[in-house]
Amino acid sequence: MPVPLLEMLARFIFSRRHLSRSARRVLHGAFMPPRDRRLSVFRISGLTDREIWRLGNFAGELRTKSPLGRANIRASSVVDQGLGIEADDELAKHAEIIGWPDDEMRILEKATELAAASVLIINVSEVTPRG
């Protein structure tokens, strides 16, 4: 089943190198695909913020980390980059961004465009108080 273009996706961020809190933006590293060229995202349209963070915590269990934040992005922004989105039939709400080029520079360009099209949402439960 195809993912609708207006659907909102979340890419959970587990590395401080993939976000800039001061600039309030997602960095390209958050969208760099792994070696298998299948970048994990979650379909979050219609979910509450609490439900979305539950998905992030579930994803983090595999890494034994809680997400620092998430990059919210419309499915249409992914498709605009010539990439596809494949819904996961076995894991509810999970999908993967597919169709990445083989050329590393083109991958970097697409990851940079996706980061620019996304909105950073900080996980406030992971922000440590100063003082």
For residue range 106-123, list pLDDT tens digits in order. Answer: 999 999 999 999 999 999
Give residue 41's domain range: 8-126
Do the domain assignments include residue 3? no
Sheet holding 39-43, edge to edge: 84-87, 94-98, 39-43, 8-13, 69-74, 119-122
Do the domain assignments include residue 2? no
Do the domain assignments include residue 15? yes
Query: Which H/E stretch holds residue 65?
Result: none
Q: Which of 53, 30, 35 is nearest to 114 (CA)?
A: 30
Euclidean distance between CA atoms 94 and 88, whole angstroms: 5
Q: Which residue has the higher pLDDT, 90 or 5?
A: 5
Do the domain assignments include residue 70? yes
Do the domain assignments include residue 37? yes
pTM: 0.90
Total number of domains constituting the chain:
1
pLDDT tens digit string along 40-96? 999 999 999 999 999 999 888 877 788 999 999 999 999 999 999 999 988 889 999
